[in-house]
Chains A and B, each alone.
Chain A
Amino acid sequence: MTDIRSFEQTGEAGFGDYVALLKPRVMSLVVFTAMVGLLVAPVAVHPMVAFASVLFIALGGGASGALNMWWDADIDRVMKRTQGRPVPSGRVAPEEALGLGLALSGIAVVMLALAANFVAAGLLAFTIFFYAVIYTIWLKRSTPQNIVIGGAAGAFPPMIGWAVATGGVSIESVLMFALIFMWTPPHFWALALFMRNDYGNAGVPMLTVTHGRRVTRNHILGYTLALAPVALVTGITSIGGPIYMGLAIVLNVIFVLGAWRIWRRDEDQAEADGFRVEKKFFRFSLIYLFLHFAGFLAETALRPYGLGGW
């Protein structure tokens, strides 16, 4: 009699493994920024339409994450940070990740077109294409500027949210895009500084590998200095206001100060304290972006009480 317990492990994935393919942590950022983009737009959207739209934007983002995991399975296997992902760990077959990514991309784009409009759906389709093809397949392994250009994919969600409400693109949504676009390089390069040899072992041409860690420190400072004016200029548009402006000034002073601290250190100092400054800068970068978008939201939420906006 065959004992079912003697069967070999099949490698069958659980539901959670498929959820993990959609990169839920990245998705949370997509949901938040898309929601802010939608809510701060000057056109009111039915709550059900808003909910469905944000959900399909998140699904589109998740689908591009699955496509990324399908293509990058080989380098994910090498990097410590990504070894536990469903494809490199063998729980999900690469073809399954590809199938799921393509199917969800189609569903997300079509459903967003039906729920909102074709501009938002077109932007979502372009975002998925940009992240999966331009960034993952083409640029990630061919240029140290991969993070800069790839950052555009992560910067689209507030623009899509804005398009859901207004049906178009305007200076405010472009500036929200620019804020995330300029924020991405210092955020990821700080990570690359303290993740040490991970990217190098995987053969990904991160700036730390191709141009050295000194150049990376210079770039972090440069991009942080360029980011500050973008954050402040956004504050004088229709989505900004005194609350946002106050918040942006404080956050950018701290961020530039952090970048300056990273810039003036050398590897020996960083090594000595276990990359304390770099790790602190990386953690703060998450708070930085969250609070900027929370600032936009606060301006809109307080407007009915005569407090938000200029």
Chain B
Amino acid sequence: MAITIEHEMHKRRFGRNFGVAMVLIAFVALVFGLTLAKVSGGGSIQGFDHTYRPALDQPAAAGGVN
């Protein structure tokens, strides 16, 4: 019975582990977001193939903007 009693130490240990978990999740999200920003360079991306598709450039070409 006594072993189940929550000690203050457990609370702190849980808080610390929870905090580290949150930091790691946030870091993963940040690197993912950063990757998207770097890869897209501010434009839209379609990631299902790796070949050049002129269709993606047409709106820009039609508008006369490079």
Binding site for B on A (CB under 8 A): 1-5, 7, 9-10, 12-16, 18-19, 46-49, 52, 55, 114-115
A48 to B30, CA, bound (A): 8
In the complex, number of A-B residue pairs with CB atoms less than 8 Å apart: 49
A154 to B18, CA, bound (A): 31
B61 within 8 A of A: no
The reply to whether B42 and A46 contact each other, CB–CB distance below 8 Å, is yes
B53 within 8 A of A: no
Say whether chain B's binding surface is mostly helix, strand, loop, or mixed: helix
A15-B7 CB under 8 A given contacts A48-B34, A52-B34: no
A1 to B15, CA, bound (A): 27
A12 to B16, CA, bound (A): 10
Q: How large is the interface on B (under 10, 10 to 19, 20 to 34, 35 or more residues)?
A: 10 to 19
When the two chains form the complex, which single residue of B7, B12, B13, B36 contacts A48, counting CB atoms closer than 8 Å?
A: B36
The reply to whether A5 and B2 contact each other, CB–CB distance below 8 Å, is yes
The reply to whether A12 and B2 contact each other, CB–CB distance below 8 Å, is no
Residues 6-21 of chain B: 1 if any A CB is under 8 Å from the residue's CB, otherwise 0? Answer: 0101001101101110
A19 to B37, CA, bound (A): 28
A49-B37 CB under 8 A given contacts A1-B2, A14-B15: yes
The reply to whether A52 and B15 contact each other, CB–CB distance below 8 Å, is no
A18 to B22, CA, bound (A): 14
**Closest approach, in angstroms, between the C-beta of B28 and any C-beta of chain A?**
13
Listed by A's residue number, 11 A-B pairs whose Cβ atoms lie within 8 Å are A2-B2, A4-B2, A4-B3, A4-B7, A9-B9, A10-B9, A15-B15, A16-B15, A48-B33, A49-B38, A52-B30
Contacts of B34 in A (CB 8 A): 48-49, 52, 114-115
**Closest approach, in angstroms, between the C-beta of B63 and any C-beta of chain A?**
20
A13-B12 CB under 8 A given contacts A7-B7, A46-B37, A46-B42: yes
B5 within 8 A of A: yes
Contacts of A13 in B (CB 8 A): 12, 16
The reply to whether A12 and B9 contact each other, CB–CB distance below 8 Å, is yes
**Closest approach, in angstroms, between the C-beta of A62 and any C-beta of chain B?**
12
Nearest residue (CB) in B for A114 is: B34
> Closest 5 A-B residue pairs measured CB to CB?
A15-B19, A48-B37, A14-B12, A15-B16, A3-B2
Nearest residue (CB) in B for A53 is: B34
When the two chains form the complex, which single residue of B20, B30, B33, B37 contacts A15, counting CB atoms closer than 8 Å?
A: B20
Nearest residue (CB) in B for A16 is: B15
A18-B19, A55-B30 known; 15 new pairs, CB 8 Å cut-off, are A1-B2, A3-B5, A4-B5, A9-B9, A12-B12, A12-B16, A13-B16, A14-B12, A14-B16, A15-B15, A18-B16, A47-B37, A48-B37, A49-B34, A52-B30
Nearest residue (CB) in A for B2 is: A3
A4 to B37, CA, bound (A): 50
A16 to B12, CA, bound (A): 9
**Closest approach, in angstroms, between the C-beta of B20 and any C-beta of chain A?**
7
Contacts of A14 in B (CB 8 A): 12, 15-16
Contacts of A12 in B (CB 8 A): 9, 12-13, 16
Contacts of A7 in B (CB 8 A): 7, 9
When the two chains form the complex, which single residue of B5, B12, B16, B33 contacts A52, counting CB atoms closer than 8 Å?
A: B33
